C-alpha cells in the first residue's frame, strides 16, 4: 500500500470516529470517501455502531455502501443529516475545496448542505496555499448549454474543456444526465466571488467550489493525521 493510500485510510478512520449510533450520515464519493464507507461498514459489522444510515452522493457510493452493508436512505426521508464526510481534489487551509473529479459534485454539494457537521478527508498532497493552483474547477452543465457555457467561461477568463469519457465514446455523462466542463482559472484569489459569478451563468448547474461547507478536515501525511479546523 502506498503512503498516500495509507494516509487516506487513516484520515478516513478519524472522520468515522465522529459517527455515533443512530446517526444518519452523508456518504461522499471517490477513492478517499470509499475508505470512509469501508471503515463505517467495519464498525457496524463489529458492533461498535448500530442503527446508522447513509445517504449516498453517487452510484459509486451506493455500490461501496452495499459491499460493506451500510444501510442506505434518502434526503426525502432525512432532509437534515447528522454529519457527512467526503474527499477533495484540492483544499486550502481555510477548508475551502475543489471537488468533482469523480463527477458527483452536484449531489455531493446537495448532501453537504444538509449536514450539521461536514468533514473533509484527504492526504496532504491535496493541500494548497491557493485554490486553483495546478487544479481545474469542475462544473456540471446541462447538455443543451455546453457551447454557450463554454463561451461564457472563456469570457470570464477560464480555459474550459468538456470532459471526455474513457471506455466509451463521447463526453462524460453524470449520474444526473448532465455534462462536465473542467475549467482552468489558474490560482483563484477570491474563490467565493468566482463561485458566485459561475452561478450566474445560465445552464451551469453547479460548481466544484465548496466554499464554507467544511467544519473540519483530517489530512493524512506519511507519518501522522493532521486535524484542521476553521
Catalytic machinery residues: 108
Q: Are strands 97-98 and 115-123 parallel, antiparallel or unpaired?
A: unpaired
Closest CA relative to residue 84, chosen from 138, 142, 37, 133:
37
DSSP-assigned beta bridge partners for residue 204: 141
CA distance 21 to 24: 9
- Contact indicator for 66, 38 with CB cutoff of 8 Å: no
Q: Is the dihedral of CA 169, 173, 178, 180 positive or negative?
A: negative
Amino acid at each position: 500500500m502506498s503512503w498516500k493510500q495509507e494516509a487516506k485510510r487513516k484520515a478516513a478512520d478519524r472522520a468515522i470516529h465522529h459517527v455515533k449510533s443512530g446517526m444518519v450520515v452523508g456518504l461522499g464519493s471517490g477513492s478517499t470517501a470509499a475508505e470512509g464507507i469501508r471503515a463505517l461498514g467495519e464498525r457496524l459489522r463489529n458492533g461498535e455502531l448500530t442503527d446508522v444510515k447513509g445517504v449516498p452522493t453517487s452510484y459509486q457510493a451506493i455500490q461501496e455502501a452495499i459491499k460493506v452493508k451500510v444501510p442506505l436512505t434518502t434526503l426525502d426521508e432525512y432532509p437534515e443529516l447528522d454529519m457527512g464526510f467526503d474527499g477533495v481534489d484540492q483544499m486550502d487551509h481555510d477548508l475551502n475545496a475543489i471537488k468533482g473529479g469523480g463527477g458527483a459534485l452536484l449531489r455531493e454539494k446537495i448532501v453537504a448542505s444538509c449536514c450539521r457537521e461536514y468533514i473533509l478527508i484527504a492526504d496532504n498532497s491535496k493541500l494548497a496555499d491557493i485554490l486553483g493552483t495546478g487544479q481545474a474547477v469542475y462544473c456540471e452543465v446541462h447538455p443543451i448549454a455546453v457551447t454557450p457555457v463554454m463561451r461564457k467561461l472563456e469570457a470570464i477568463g477560464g480555459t474550459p474543456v468538456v470532459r471526455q469519457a474513457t471506455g466509451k465514446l463521447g463526453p462524460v455523462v453524470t449520474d444526473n444526465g448532465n455534462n462536465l466542463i473542467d475549467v482552468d482559472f489558474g490560482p483563484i484569489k477570491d474563490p467565493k466571488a468566482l463561485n458566485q459569478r459561475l452561478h450566474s451563468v445560465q445552464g451551469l448547474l453547479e460548481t466544484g467550489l465548496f466554499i464554507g461547507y467544511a467544519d473540519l478536515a483530517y489530512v493524512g501525511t506519511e507519518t501522522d493525521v493532521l486535524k484542521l479546523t476553521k
